[in-house]
Amino acid sequence: MKPINVGLLGIGTVGGGTFTVLKRNAEEIARRAGRPIQIVVVADKNTELAKQVTGGACRITDDAFAVVNDPEVDIVVELIGGYGVAKELVLKAIENGKHVVTANKALLATHGNEIFAAAQKKGVMVAFEAAVAGGIPIIKALREGLTANRIEWIAGIINGTTNFILSEMRDKGLSFETVLKEAQRLGYAEADPTFDVEGVDAAHKLTIMSAIAFGNSMSFDKAHIEGISKLDAADIKYAEQLGYRIKLLGITKRTPEGVELRVHPTLIPAKRLIANVEGAMNAVLVKGDAVGPTLYYGKGAGAEPTASSVIADLVDVTRMHTADPEHRVPHLAFQPNAMVDLTILPLSEIITSYYLRLRVEDKPGVLADITRILADQQISIDAMIQREPGEGEEQTDIIMLTHQTREKNVDAAISKIEALAAVKGKLTRLRLEELL
């Protein structure tokens, strides 16, 4: 049978991995897809690298637009990244009637609504398994495997860099700055790690999963995004003492008022499986009404793990290449005419539990004043640690865990607590999820 011809845009880490795995497992992949899948042209500014990786097995060009305009190319694989030229290339490929496979979570989270609408109009597929959690087939699980379920919530460790940093901070008691330098030395963190450590990368991925889970449009601009750069090693230690681990989680929940869409450091009970995901690994916990909680774990980045997802998409597109567009799996799980614009809740309206740490003068009555303020805001305490002050110290730390309450109530309580004369400096507030 005639092979499917693929044009590859970008031969960096993931592009190189895709070429290597596709070549190595060509026979097995063809048996699964029903026909051979072959990369016929590669576009990369570094043509020497492209020639080196491909070994002369296909055409090489430095003009990506030549690939998306090539009539011989059936599927375009976009591995360039970013929002600019990648968007132009993807939309041009769609306009030319080509299917697209992409690992570009930033592009889909910010421009996915436009891209999927264009693909729907043209009757082509846009596949993006590799855009979220590297080699973990979480998109397929949400879109197909769990299709019988009403998804209630998703909570994911979906950035390996931050998970590595938090694991090292906990294991070695080191500061964020120290571990970040080590992560950069080992290649886990970029020279400019902002997208990772400030939660932006995780928010891109969470936006995509939320849209698939709930059938709402991409809403990246409404997500609450908070990273780990201000996290204190002391809070990781106190959390351990209380039986919790701190992870950077992407959380999206369906509530009667709307959808929660938030990324922030989160306390999780240490006995939960997801709390024990260490190093640069990823994990996504999905709660469906029929199936209950399901956990998806694996490598969230790297050449061959991500290539695994890219090639899985190539196989899917190849299988469905000649199918009636109306009978393909919808891009975002729900039929396009059944997508809705659900309200994305502001952070002030979310309901969760909290970890509070404050520095206070060691004298009678302070704790009573604090608990009275919390009670006035209808916040009840679940657990508490009051550290004994050292010899000669006149201040101490109080750490409290609350039961579930609304964020705006906690905001109001914090404002009043920080105004107390006996409270020194700013109060530290982290959110806590039981994930049941």
The pLDDT tens digits of the residues spanning 373-394 come to 999 999 999 999 988 887 778 8
List of residues 6+ apart from 274 with CB closer than 8 A? 155, 157, 247, 268, 283, 285, 295, 435
Separation between Cα atoms, residue 120 and residue 94, nearest integer Å: 9
The reply to whether domains 138-299 and 351-432 share a CATH topology is: no
- Alpha helices, DSSP H only, in 244-357? 303-320
Write down the pLDDT at residue 392.
76
CA proximity to 340, closest of 113, 110, 104, 108: 113
Mean predicted lDDT score pLDDT of the chain: 95
Q: What is the pLDDT of residue 87?
A: 98
Q: What is the pLDDT of residue 337?
A: 84
Report pLDDT digits (tens) over 237-262: 999 999 999 999 999 999 999 999 99
CATH superfamily, with its number, for domain 351-432: ACT domain (3.30.70.260)
CATH number, domain 138-299: 3.30.360.10
% of the chain at pLDDT higher than 70: 100
Beta strands in 37-132 (DSSP E): 37-43, 59-61, 75-78, 99-102, 126-127
pLDDT at 129: 97
CA angle, 247 then 144 then 280, to 5°: 25
Beta-strand pair 281-288/151-157 = antiparallel
| Full pLDDT tens readout for the chain, 436 residues | 899 999 999 999 999 999 999 999 999 999 999 999 999 999 999 999 999 999 999 999 999 999 999 999 999 999 999 989 999 999 999 999 999 999 999 999 999 999 999 999 999 999 999 999 999 999 999 999 999 999 999 999 999 999 999 999 999 999 999 999 999 998 889 999 999 999 999 999 999 999 999 999 999 999 999 999 999 999 999 999 999 999 999 999 999 999 999 999 999 999 999 999 999 999 999 999 999 999 999 999 999 999 999 999 999 999 988 777 777 888 888 888 888 889 999 999 999 999 999 999 998 999 999 999 999 999 999 999 988 887 778 899 999 999 999 999 999 999 999 999 999 999 999 999 999 9
The pTM assigned to this predicted structure is 0.96
pLDDT at 324: 77
Alpha carbon distance 127, 310 (integer Å) = 8
Quickly name the fold that domain 4-134+303-337 has: Rossmann fold (3.40.50)
Q: Which residues are catalytic?
A: 205
* Sequence spans of domains, the chain: 4-134+303-337, 138-299, 351-432
CA distance 377 to 373: 7
Half-sphere exposure of 130 (CA within 13 A, CB side): 30
Neighbours of 269 (CB within 10 A): 16
Q: What is the pLDDT of residue 65?
A: 98
Digit-coded pLDDT (tens) for 59-98 = 999 999 999 999 999 999 999 999 899 999 999 999 999 9
Residue 310 has what pLDDT?
97
